[in-house]
Amino acid sequence: MPEYKMYINGGFRGASDGGTLTTRNPSTGEALGAVPSATADDVNDAVLAARAAFPAWSGLPQAERNKFLFKIAAAIRENADEMALLECLEHGTPYRDAFGVCMGAADKFEWSANAALRIKGDEIPVPNPDTLTYIKREPAGVCAFIIPWNLPTIMTAVKIAPAIAVGNTCVLKPPSVNSRIGLFFAEVIAKSGLPAGVVNVISGSGAVSGALLASHPEVDIVGFTGSSETGKSILKAAADTVKKSVMELGGNNPVLVFADADVDACLKVLAWRQFNNSGQHCSGPGRYYVHESVYDGFAAKFKAYAENLTVGDTSGGDKSVDMGPLVSREHQTKVTDYIKSALSEGATLLTGGTASETGYFVAPTVLTNCAHGMKAAREEIFGPVAVLIKFTDADDVVRLANDSRFGLCAHVWTRDISRGLKLIPKLSAGAVFINCQMLTNEQPWGTSIRESGIGKEGGDYGLREFLDEKLVCVNYGG
């Protein structure tokens, strides 16, 4: 098994005290080996390397920075198979999805480079004669990124690409449970010839290195994707230095399936989303409100979809596998506890519900006869579990959809597009999908609604999160 090191100031090294942590194969539970566990000195070295690299990197013409981003994209494509197999091994991603994710990561660097060329200032009309006033957008500085374990490869690209494209430098901490993915990504980035210190990757626990990054006085922006609870602790750590924070946090996303919905089309999109990556998506469906007239048919088709999936060991890159394990034993237990809770509150197990002792698998699960007040309907399960709730009143279902501490996204399925459009302002969510779900490089993702986060990722809006807006006022009249 290869030995992976942290990437600091253009070089690879272990932790300064020799400390390590172990990652595991979620398909088998077997230990894969040790990765460095960063100390406070390691974190400081990485941040100071990013700070030292910032003036030269931010001062490069955009076209020169872009050359490096294109080289990173090319290096990802050249190493995509190895990167994909590592994601299969350490995260439990089926090979087809893992390879697609690597291609998406390459696309993200190219898209960010091209999009950065569009960033311009804005002139502001003022009544004063002989005065020019405008907004100048400049790189913010050093970015600290703490990425989640559910989509480690693509989230590494989502964080790094836009930040460095517009001239920032960064320190990234991959998730402790699958750190090898992030550390190998650093090796791929190094092949591009990127100047030392522009990107630094450290591994370690969130409680130590993550907290140190969030509170470090030389970090200008902290970006985090993960649970709302962890996000709150990061915001507290960042508060003492009043850092800008971009937080993509939890979701318990409502799906409204009306009587006239195309049920087959809905399931083709959302059942796939429910079980893809073993349900470990913040943007995935959280609770389905299904009109009583189509409820039974919807449930039956959902059951058939779940039972037709091939669930298996992903670590060897088997291309026939549709769904792999959850990321850890701890998370497997959390998901099965939600299933048990729902059943104890009166839900019916239509299919699935079982968990393996070898590896961290939970079978694709569909729960019917659920109620809005159940724990499984109120909280973020983050697993392959569909929670189906029957509704009759269209006005009441909107109230139920909004009755949540989250507000990341919402789904509406109806053939009546007029009804769907009228629901957009009524749904308290950062994104509303009508008869579809898509996330592209062009689209911004995120919200500032309740506990689902702060700010945007992706699209031109996401690029601007990493830019400071400076007011310039010039009197040219003498």
Among the listed residues 102, 143, 170, 282, the single catalytic one is: 282
Do 202 and 269 fall into the same domain? no
Q: What's 336's domain CATH number?
A: 3.40.309.10
pLDDT of 414: 98
Provide the Cα torsion 284, 290, 294, 299; round to 10°. Answer: 50
Among the listed residues 87, 248, 457, 465, the single catalytic one is: 248
The string of pLDDT tens digits covering residues 43-100 is 999 999 999 999 999 999 999 999 999 999 999 999 999 999 999 999 999 999 999 9
Domain annotation covers residue 80? yes
Task: Compute the half-sphere exposure of residue 186: CA atoms within 13 Å on the CB side of its CA.
Answer: 28
Q: Tokens in use for 314? A: 């992903």
Order across the sheet with 122-123: list the strands.
122-123, 131-139, 467-475
Domain annotation covers residue 300? yes
Phi and psi torsions of 376, nearest 5° = -65, -20
Nearest alpha-carbon partner for 23 in 331, 312, 268, 328: 328
Catalytic residue list contains 282: yes
Number of domains in the chain: 2
Do 214 and 278 fall into the same domain? no
Q: What is the mean pLDDT of residues 343-369?
A: 97
- Please name every residue paired with 272 in a beta bridge, in sequence order, or none if there are none: none
Collapsed DSSP state (helix, strand, coil) of residue 244:
strand
Residues 232 and 255: beta-carbon distance below 8 Å: no
Domain annotation covers residue 145? yes
The string of pLDDT tens digits covering residues 158-209 is 999 999 999 999 999 999 999 999 999 999 999 999 999 999 999 999 988 9
Concatenating the DSSP letter of every residue in 131-158 gives: EEEEEEEEE--EEEEE--SSSHHHHHHH
Domain annotation covers residue 330? yes
323: DSSP letter: B
Q: What is the mean pLDDT of the chain?
A: 97
Do 298 and 334 fall into the same domain? yes
Confidence of residue 3 (pLDDT cuts 50, 70, 90): confident
Rounded distance between C-alpha atoms, residue 359 and residue 324, angstroms:
10
Do 264 and 364 fall into the same domain? yes
The string of pLDDT tens digits covering residues 156-165 is 999 999 999 9
Domain annotation covers residue 445? no
The string of pLDDT tens digits covering residues 220-273 is 999 999 999 999 999 999 999 999 999 999 999 999 999 999 999 999 999 999
pLDDT at 1 exceeding the cut of 70: no
Do 41 and 106 fall into the same domain? yes
Do 384 and 468 fall into the same domain? no
Domain annotation covers residue 447? no
Q: What's 56's domain CATH number?
A: 3.40.605.10
What residue ranges in 40-174 does DSSP mark as E strands?
122-123, 131-139, 142-146, 169-173
Q: Which domain, by its residues, includes 285?
A: 253-405+409-440
pLDDT at 2 exceeding the cut of 80: no
Do 10 and 38 fall into the same domain? yes
Rounded distance between C-alpha atoms, residue 110 and residue 114, angstroms:
6
Catalytic residue list contains 473: no
Do 365 and 263 fall into the same domain? yes
Output the pTM of the full model: 0.96
Domain annotation covers residue 350? yes
Do 270 and 221 fall into the same domain? no
Do 96 and 242 fall into the same domain? yes
The string of pLDDT tens digits covering residues 133-145 is 999 999 999 999 9
Domain annotation covers residue 221? yes
CB atoms within 10 A of CB 41: 11
pLDDT at 318 exceeding the cut of 80: yes
**What is the helix (H) or strand (E) element at residue 246, kind and residue range?**
strand 244-248
Do 460 and 436 fall into the same domain? no
Do 207 and 233 fall into the same domain? yes
CA distances from 186 to 11, 30, 66, 464 (A): 10, 24, 18, 24
